[in-house]
């Protein structure tokens, strides 16, 4: 049975609710990481870690055709995480 357009959109809405909740959770962890980095005297950007993340997230795919899209998604997510970490670090300067 094929879904209607409205049913498919409702399914997307349900996925998006989960993604938003997970994004919030990720940002909370990013703030925690910022506090740890500050205590250790580390910089926000860890380019080698980011390269590892891009590689590992791409490897998680079951549909390799989405590889470029997942790299772009995680590059954006990591940029937002860095911005959040910089905010946390600036609060304590």
Between helix 67-91 and helix 5-40 the angle, nearest 10°, is 40
List, for residues 32-85, the tens digit of each pLDDT value: 999 999 999 999 999 999 999 999 999 999 999 999 999 999 999 999 999 999
Range of the domain at 21: 5-91
In this prediction, residues 15-40 reach a mean pLDDT of 97
What is the domain-level CATH number for residue 72?
Answer: 1.20.59.10
pLDDT for the residue numbered 93: 62
The pLDDT confidence band at residue 92, using thresholds 50, 70 and 90, is low
pLDDT at 1: 76
CA distances from 48 to 34, 52, 54, 86 (A): 17, 6, 10, 18
Number of domains in the chain: 1
């Amino acid at each position: 049975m094929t879904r209607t357009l409205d049913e498919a959109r409702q399914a997307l809405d349900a996925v998006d609710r989960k993604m938003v909740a997970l994004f919030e959770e990720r940002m909370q962890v990013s703030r925690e990481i910022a506090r740890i980095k500050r205590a250790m005297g580390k910089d926000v950007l860890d380019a080698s870690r980011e390269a590892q993340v891009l590689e590992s997230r791409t490897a998680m795919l079951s549909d390799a055709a989405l590889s470029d899209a997942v790299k772009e998604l995680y590059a954006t997510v990591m940029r937002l995480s860095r911005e959040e970490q910089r905010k946390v670090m600036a609060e304590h300067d």
